Homo-oligomer: A and B are copies of this chain.
Amino acid sequence: MSKEFVIALDGMGGDQGPSMVVQGAAIARKRFPNVRFKIFGDSAKIQPLLDKKNALKEITSVIHTDDIITNEMKPALALRSGRQSSMRKAIDAVKAGEADCVVSAGNTGALMAMAKFVFKTLPGIDRPAIASFFPTLRGETVMLDLGANLQCDAQNLVQFAVMGDVFARGVLGVQSPTVGLLNVGSEDMKGHDDLREAAVILRQSDVPLNFHGFVEGDDICAGTVDVVVTDGFTGNVALKTAEGTARLTSEFLRQSFKHSLMAKLGYVFARPALNKLRARMDPRKYNGAMFLGLNGICVKSHGGTDAKGFSHAIAAAADMVHQDILSDIKQDYARIAETLSSVDDTLTVTKQV
C-alpha cells in the first residue's frame, strides 16, 4: 500500500457528473493515502468543485476536455468520434502509463468499446467481460459476464470461467475458488448446447480450475460458488432482477413499519438492526463493475449512483492496482490457456473420431 499510484477519472460520466466524481474522489482519498487523481473533463465545472476541497486538490490534476460521451451514443460512434472526450482521454492516460487505472460512470457500451480498442484483450482472450461482486449468505461471489457479450459460445464461457477464477483468487483472496455455470438446473443434461459444451471442457481433469458444475439463479445469493459464469444477457437480467428484488423487499419492510402505531413504535426499537441491514444491503457498496480480460484496468461505476457509490468504484479499481491483479491474470491465464488449448485439441480429436 506504500507505493503511490494514479487513478484516471472520467469527470463527466454519471447522472450527477463532476460533483459526484469530485466528491467520490474526496471520500476515496481517505481510504487510500497514496492515491493521486487525474480528472478529465470540463475544467470550468471541475476546478471550482475541487477548489473547495483542499486535501483532494493537492493530489489531483484536472485535464480539460471539451467532448462528452452521452449515454445515448452508440459504442461504434463513440469510438469513431469521441477521441477528444473525457472518457477516452482518461483511458488513454492509462495506456500512456500516466495512470494505473481508469474509472467512469458513463455510457457502458462506449466505455467497453474504447477500453477494448485502447487496451486490447489479453493473449488468448477473445472477448472481455464485465464482472461484479454479489453479497451472499457466505460472503461475496463474483459474477460475469454482466452485459458485455449478449451471446456467448462455449469458448467464451470457458474464458470467462478462467478470468473469474483468477480474479477471485486475486481480489477475494480465495485459494481455490469454486466456479459454477449459471443454468436452469444442476443436472448435466440441462441447458443449451453452448453451456453443456463449456461444462464438458471445464470438467476435463487437466483444466486447473475448481469447477463446481451448473448452478441456478438462487445459487447466486446463496453463495454456492465463488464465481458464477454466464452470458452477458442472462447476467445483466439476473443482476438487475436481484437489485429490483432487494428494492422491493426494503419497500415492503418500510411499509410494514408504517402499518400501525405498534409497528411505528417497533421501528424505533428496531432501528439499529434495520440500519445495520440497510448498510449491509447498500447497493453502493457493490458499485464498480470490473472489465476483465483487457490489458488495462477499467472500472465502470453505475451511472445513477452518488458520491459514496462512486468512491466504492474507485476503491474497486484501487484494489485491483494494489493487488497487481493484471499481472496475476496475465500469468495465470497464460498457464491455463496452454492447458485449455490442448484440451480443445483433444476434444476436436474426440469429435472427429
Contact = CB atoms under 8 A, between A and B. Distances in A.
B277 A266 contact: no
Interface string A252-277: 11001101101101111111111011
Interface stretch (A56-64, A203-211, A229-237): A229-237
A226 to B, nearest CB: 16
Given A238-B237, A239-B217, A276 B256 contact: yes
Interface stretch (A1-9, A94-102, A241-249): A241-249
A161 interface: no
Interface stretch (A184-192, A307-315, A329-337): A184-192
B256 A266 contact: no
A66 interface: no
Given A147-B184, A272-B260, A218 B244 contact: yes
A182 B257 CA distance: 32
A137 B281 CA distance: 19
A74 interface: yes
A274 B245 contact: no
B237 A216 contact: yes
B270 A263 contact: yes
A239 B185 CA distance: 13
Nearest to A182: B237
Interface in A44-60: none
Interface string A155-194: 0000000000000000000000000001010010101100
A267 B271 CA distance: 10
A271 B256 CA distance: 10
A217 B239 CA distance: 7
A200 interface: no
B277 A184 contact: no
A241 B217 contact: yes
A242 B245 contact: yes
A244 B220 contact: yes
B252 A277 contact: yes
B269 A265 contact: yes
A277 B248 contact: no
A263 to B, nearest CB: 4
A273 B269 CA distance: 12
A192 B280 CA distance: 35
A240 interface: yes
Given A249-B249, A253-B277, A218 B191 contact: no
Contact of A234 (B237, B248, B267, B269): B237
A274 B266 CA distance: 10
A43 interface: no
A272 B263 contact: yes
Given A184-B236, A184-B237, A237-B234, A244 B217 contact: yes
Given A137-B247, A150-B184, A259-B276, 8 more contacts: A74-B189, A192-B233, A218-B243, A241-B242, A252-B281, A262-B272, A263-B272, A266-B271
